[in-house]
Amino acid sequence: MDEKNRPDEGRLTTCRGWAAVAAELRRAIDGGSYAARGRLPSERALSERFGVSRVTMRRAIAELEGEGLLRVARGSGAYVRADMPVRFQLGNKVSFSKDLTATDANLTRKVLSARVVPANADIAARLNVEPGEAVLEMCVVACADALPVSVVVRSCSAGRFPGLAEKFGAMGSFTAALRDYGVTDYWRRSTDIKARMPTEVEARLLQQSRLTPVLACAGEDIDADGTIISCQIGCFAPERIVVTV
């Protein structure tokens, strides 16, 4: 049998290739060449840098993902896993900057969409309004160092809070935006958390596989008079969140 037709040797050569690349990439991550929660260069760019095929590069990345050093999000890329996950402090006070804390994470929120829709039976019950009443529905994604940690749909009365989405976009804080409506303070009345599989949209926004469960949350916020002002239904990426009660 000639050299090129020896399958066993071909497999060994490939194995040594990806193992060597994984070892070098591992050293780079351990040495701080890539920031925690940061995204690695594209598979193509890494293949060119290491001088290997994309198949070999993909195998090396899969090895480091299996070790827990990397997190691979389909359609987004490979990210360096952080040693310290973002911590969500579950309590009766509502404050994004205090609820979500991490020693080295830059925390941000963004309204991806906002629309006025008729309240369905579930939302109407949560907000204590009549079914069909107009509610403002905002889809908000929270990120730590640009890596999404939660996606939540927040609903509130469109009549009581007209233009709330625009105010939040300008101020970057629901607490500040609500003050323009006379809500000086508010509390979380309750929060229910359970594990479930993500929807296709949730998996895409969280940049994770649909085969990875999420921590689903649902709850309501009340003002100083005990009136429900909003409800939130969404989920957390479990590998990036620690819930503290």
Q: Which residues contact 121 (CB under 8 A, 6 or more apart)?
A: 131
Domain edge (last residue) among 33, 60, 80? 80
Highest mean pLDDT among 99-103, 206-210, 216-220: 216-220
Q: Based on the domain organization, do 92 and 73 belong to the same domain?
A: no
- State the average pLDDT over residues 49-55: 90
Instruction: Give the pLDDT of residue 91.
Output: 65
Domain edge (last residue) among 30, 52, 80? 80
Q: Give how many domains the chain has, as a whole number.
A: 2
Q: Give me the CATH number covering residue 21.
A: 1.10.10.10
pLDDT at 90 over 70: no
* Domain ranges, residue 10: 3-80
Q: How far apart are CA 229 and CA 180, in angstroms?
A: 14
**Per-residue pLDDT tens digits for 172-188:** 788 889 999 999 888 98
pTM value > 0.75: no
**Which residue matches tokens 């921590």?**
215
Q: Based on the domain organization, do 101 and 182 belong to the same domain?
A: yes
- Percent share of the chain, pLDDT over 70: 82
Instruction: Give the pLDDT of residue 79.
Output: 84
Q: How far apart are CA 230 and CA 137, in angstroms?
A: 10
Domain edge (last residue) among 80, 114, 135? 80
Q: Which residues contact 38 (CB under 8 A, 6 or more apart)?
A: 79, 80, 145
**Per-residue pLDDT tens digits for 74-85:** 777 888 876 556
Q: Based on the domain organization, do 119 and 144 belong to the same domain?
A: yes
Instruction: Give the pLDDT of residue 178.
Output: 93
Helix (H, G, I), strand (E, B) or coil at 211: coil
pLDDT at 140 over 60: yes
Q: How far apart are CA 33 and CA 182, in angstroms?
A: 48
Q: In this structure, are strands 70-73 and 134-144 parallel, antiparallel, or unpaired?
A: unpaired
Q: Give me the CATH number covering residue 104.
A: 3.40.1410.10
Instruction: Give the pLDDT of residue 86.
Output: 67
**Confidence bin at 68 (pLDDT 50/70/90):** confident
**Confidence bin at 93 (pLDDT 50/70/90):** low
